[in-house]
Structure 1
Amino acid sequence: MKTTTFCEDLFTTVRTELGDAGLYGKKVWYNYPFEEMKDRKELFEKDGSFKKMCDGGRWVRVVNVFLVESTESEEDEIGGGLEPCEEELRVERNVAPFATKVQTMELNCVQFLQNKTILVTGATGFLAKVFVEKILRVQPNVKKLYLLVRASDNEAATKRLHMEIFEKDLFKVLRENLGDEKLNTLLYEKVVSVPGDIATDQLGMNDFDLRERMQKEIDIVVNVAATTNFDERYDVGLGINTFGALNVLNFAKKCVKVELLLHVSTAYVCGEKPGLIPEKPFIMEDIRNENGLQLDINLERELMKQRLKELNEQDCSEEDITLSMKELGMERAKLHGWPNTYVFTKSMGEMLLGNHKENLPLVIIRPTMITSTLSEPFPGWIEGLRTVDSVIIAYGKGVLKCFLVDVNSVCDMIPVDMVANAMITAAAKHAGCSGVHMVYHVGSSHQNPVTFGEIHEIAVRYFTKNPLRSRNGSLITVSKVRFISTMALFSLYMTLRYKLPLQMLKLIDIIYPWRNGDKYGDKNRKIELVMRLVELYEPYVLFKGMYVLNSNFLF
């Protein structure tokens, strides 16, 4: 007998959970998707091995994994990923122990949610919607979900929740399972719309009675509210991402039953550090830039207020104020070692939470680039085009010819439903643990890295096989993208390829202004926009870091 390797189609979760130790010597794991099992059903049912890994239909595939003896004569056939014929397959042990462990973990999380009252801020955001849908789908016996949204009053808040959350395709599984009437009853009984704004004291809740009731009932506070614009106005970023987080903390402290504050941040608060990035909270006293300047968050707020006051005294237009506030945010971020206003203000929010939490249990979730659902409530749901998604679609449409990126850098993406699952799991683990301050990365770079070059190859194969159509109905043929690995070379490319030829168009517009309209102005604005976006994304497409995950239980 000789040990064989894992089959190529081994279900990743099983391998991750059991590792090579699960081989027990001269054995090999097999994986059979449900579709391939139909003809083998009788064979496996008599061995008691034809089982679902989870109940409730929450997994897309039904997976059966077996330990079988492996001989040298079988190795060529099996090692190549081929399935042995039925008469050679000798089932020794199914995956029931692993299934039990997974089921127990899921059951604990579902039970944790029972009879809980949860406040969710930023409820109309992409991640928050998936989080809310998950809770209502797996635990309809949750006591209450208070959903905070920006709105003028309760009626407007309720209308916004229904339009932007409950009427979306995201809820079609719940709607199909329950029917419209029962789903509406569930939402009426379990969901409370709360008009408010985390950028203001008391979260902007003007209804004193509602606020008092919430502070008596709430068990868990989940802060997902954020502005994610990389070059956000500094006053807006500080108001929501930094001091807004502190406002949520102060509200949570007034909740007499509160067991946990779960705050969603971003993995990119690390800045542009290369290498392995640990799951560590910030210590404000240690935050100094390369010149030794210590970060003072209150000073940052005063600088912002002073600049805003000066702009208003100068009677500047709203457009000029916005531009100045954006420039100030980027300037302050880079001074202190962060690439943009978004991650700088999110970092300061984490620091304030750590400094002011006292004994309140605090868990910070740091996801990487969040993309479409992997499996729940169904695969592929996404709202709008996000970071990587927009680039992939641009390539499929044939408009992406050149791109600034290091093809060997890891593109750290994570499905949104995995982030929602991690949030629930972390809450279940740490709720009620006085004084705890935990940080969890939720990403893929450490355990399952995929480079930008690999993503490009996948995109080439996909759009070659499944081409998009242009507006006139013709198929779009894609070609490989020209990758440029430094900003200097990319700027040179843009100058030679676009900016110099554009000067000829400018000359034509001057000589014949009546012929083409302002074509030069239109194209020049597009080039400036491209360069602006490339500058914003540069830290991420050339990123040399990898986010350490020490907590596999989250997944």
Structure 2
Amino acid sequence: MHAMEEIEIVQYFEGKTIFITGATGFLAKIFLEKILRLQPNVKKLFLLIRPTTERSIEQRLHEEIFSIDLFRVLREEMGGDLRSLLDKVIPIPGDISHDNLGIFDPELRHNMLQEIDIIVNSAATTNFDERYDVALGINALGAMHLENFARKCSKLETLLHVSTAYVHGNGVGLIPERSFRKGDTLDGAKISYLDINTETEIANDRLRELQAQNSTEKEITRAMKDLGIERAMLHGWPNTYVFTKAMGEMVLEKFKEVANLIILRPTIITSTITEPFAGWIEGLRTLDSIFVAYGKGKLKFFVGDPESTLDMIPGDMVVNCMVAAMAVAAASCPNSDEESRLSIYHIGSSKCNPLKFADIKWLMHRFLIENPLLDGRGKPITIGQPTTLNSMATFHRYIATHYLPFVKGLQFVNVIFCNHFESAYTSARRRISHAMRLADLYKPYIFFQGIFDDANTKNLRKKIRSSQTSVNLLNFDPKHVEWDEYFLKTHFAGITKYALK
């Protein structure tokens, strides 16, 4: 195919109906905003939103999407009010973890199946330490329910599924953009075949067992979290999140028989770099909680290999890649074979613009010295020099020498004084086990030895020509990111402004 002009990509979305799942999530909001700004003549945007007991889907659309700062530029362009978009942006009550995506109204469902041109699946639970039943329901079975729904869409051109580059587990060296097939496991797996139905049964049986024992909600949550990690490790994955995301990919792989299937695998997504403005972020994402804990004086050391590459990518670059991938897939030969209807893209920076763990640590330090976080009384919090514990063994030794003697002492005092110090002892013990668990959960990222190959993403960039008038309209080249400047002026400032308020 010829190289597409950016303007052709924009035109592709004119008159299209797009269905977005996970619509209240971070990435989906950036995507929605971009499409509305890029192509105001898009026909319809169906947003799958879970109704809650406190809030209707209309309330959630207004409060969690249209009213937030991200839509500021669009609001200004439209004269301050986005209500005129309500005939285009249609919230749909539903839940991806249910059959038919929880869309119970048969007439509504029928109309959607007739109208949808593109599906963007960004529904996911991204919590590394999620309950197994919950993660399976959304990340794996959710993909299955979506595939069943997508097969009934009469004019669907493309299904884009947002996954994660870390589905490869603890990969080492150059990690290719290859697909997962049903049953695949990773190196080091103790079980050679992964069966999603078996996994679902195991999770359901365990849940029933816990309920039959009259376990408390807290005990059930803990046991189901532990089960997730245990099952993930048996199959070679480091945590429940990446394990269930890999299952989701396996479920969807066959969809290339029906239409274009794009599996987009971003690395660690950070705040926007340019669009709609720099620094927008929502909630604390992967490594941001480390920045906040350090800035608040709660974290006195960093655990990680200073030389390992932290693969980060700004959210708006991920969205630009999504937009380009869909238009290019549609422009490719429609009668092409199944294999060419499947595109897998790693969107990250480790191959072309790598960033070391040690660099990030010092950038955090520099930013917080110049812009300290404030304590409850509004006073600046002083932070120390960041110590690095560069292996898990060093981390365990550090805990054993610096913290465990204190906890043991508390335990002893508590026994002598007839449990008078029970809450102090429990709280100290809980803090240590929490730190240990966090270190285990983040281990795949802070000791990561892989580099994500992005040959397909590079080829995608080559298929797009920018005109002089629209420079950066669809920029998703991480080579252009000056990391020092981005973290010091954009990302960390964005965390303090939007995530910490």
Normalization by structure 1: what TM-score? 0.78
Q: How far apart, CA to CA, are the structure 2 residues paired with 1:251 and 1:276?
A: 35
Q: Root-mean-square deviation (CA), in Å?
A: 2.1
> Quick check: 1:482 aligned with 2:377?
no
- The aligned counterpart of 1:199 is 97
In structure 2, give the amino acid aligned to 1:468.
L
Cα displacement (A) at 1:480: 2.2
Contact (CA 8 Å) 2:265, 2:345: kept in 1 or not?
A: yes
Q: Distance in 2 between matches of 1:479 and 1:325?
A: 38
* Structure-2 separation of matches of 1:471 and 1:244: 41
> What amino acid does structure 2 have at the position aligned with 1:200?
H
Per-residue Cα deviation, 1:377-405 (whole angstroms, up to 9, x for no partner): 11001111111112122222333211210
Q: CA deviation at 1:356?
A: 4.9
The AA in structure 2 aligned to 1:213 is N
> Is the CA contact 2:128–2:241 (under 8 Å) kept in the aligned structure 1?
yes
Q: Which has the higher contact order (CA 8 A, sep 6+)?
A: 2
List structure 1 runs of 4+ shifted beyond 6 angstroms: none
Structure 2 Cα separation of the partners of residues 343 and 477 of structure 1: 36
Contact 1:120 1:221 in 2 (8 A): yes
Following the alignment from structure 1 to structure 2, what is the Cα–Cα distance between the partners of residues 206 and 484? Answer: 52
Q: Return 5+ residue gaps in structure 2 as ranges.
A: 462-475, 477-501
Say which SS state the counterpart of residue 179 (structure 1) adopts.
Answer: coil
2:164 corresponding residue in structure 1 = 266
How far is 1:338 from its partner? 0.1
Question: Post-superposition shift, 1:319?
Answer: 2.5
Helix, strand or coil for the counterpart of 1:386? coil
CA contact (8 A) 1:509 1:518 kept: no
The partner residue of 1:542 within 419, 441, 447 is 447
Q: What's the offset of the Cα at 1:172?
A: 0.6
Matched, 1:135 2:35: yes
Contact 1:405 1:541 (8 Å CA) reproduced: yes
Deviation at 1:466, TM superposition (A): 2.6
Q: Contact 2:45–2:89 at 8 Å: present in 1 too?
A: yes
- Tell whether the 8 Å contact from 2:44 to 2:90 is kept in structure 1 after alignment: yes
Distance 1:164 1:248 in 2: 23
Is residue 2:137 matched to residue 1:239? yes
Q: 1:461 to 1:310 in 2, by over 3 A?
A: closer
**Which one of the candidate residues 114, 117, 130 is aligned to 2:14?**
114
Task: Indicate conservation of the 8 Å contact 2:185/2:236, yes or no.
Answer: no
* Greater mean deviation of Cα atoms: 120-129 or 400-409: 400-409
Residue by residue over 1:285-319, the C-alpha shift from the partner in whole angstroms, topping out at 9 and shown as x without a partner, is: 55365356222222222222222232333333332
Q: 1:522 maps to which residue?
A: 427
- Indicate how the Cα distance of structure 1 residues 489 and 288 shifts in structure 2: closer, same or farther if over 3 A, else same: closer
Taking the aligned partners of 1:514 and 1:300, their CA distance within structure 2 comes to: 43
- For residue 330 of structure 1, what is the amino acid of its counterpart? I
In 2, Cα distance between equivalents of 1:330 and 1:406: 23
Is 1:312 aligned to 2:207, yes or no? Answer: no
Which residue in 2 is equivalent to 1:55?
A: none
Preserved CA contact (<8 Å) 2:311 2:350: yes
Q: 8 Å contact 2:151–2:258 — kept in the other structure?
A: no
How far off is 1:245 after superposition? 0.4
Q: Deviations over 1:417-436 (max 9, x none)?
A: 11111111111111374531
Q: Is the 8 A contact 1:484 1:490 kept in 2?
A: yes
CA distance in 2, matches of 1:497, 1:504: 12
User: 1:491 — aligned with what?
Assistant: 396
Compare CA radii of gyration and give the structure with the larger one.
1
After superposition, the C-alpha distances for 1:123-168 in whole angstroms (9 at most, x for unaligned) are 0001111110111111111000000011169x81111111111110
- What are the superposed Cα offsets for residues 519-539 of structure 1, whole Å, 9 maximum, x if unpaired? 111121111111111111111
Are 2:169 and 2:186, in contact at CA under 8 Å, matched by a contact in 1?
no
Please state if 1:455 is matched with 2:378.
no
The one-letter code sitting in structure 2 at the alignment partner of 1:545 is: G
Which amino acid in the other structure matches residue 170 of structure 1?
L
CA distance in 2, matches of 1:156, 1:502: 47
State the alpha-carbon separation in 2 of the partners of residues 184 and 405 from structure 1. 47
TM-score, scaled relative to structure 2: 0.86
Identical counterparts, % of pairs: 51
Residues 219, 273 of structure 1: alpha-carbon distance in 2 compared, 3 angstrom cutoff:
same
Is 1:250 the equivalent of 2:148? Answer: yes
Aligned residues: 451
What per-residue deviation string (whole Å, max 9, x for no partner) do you get for residues 221-258 of structure 1?
11000111112121111111111101111111111110
Q: 1:288 to 1:172 in 2, by over 3 A?
A: closer
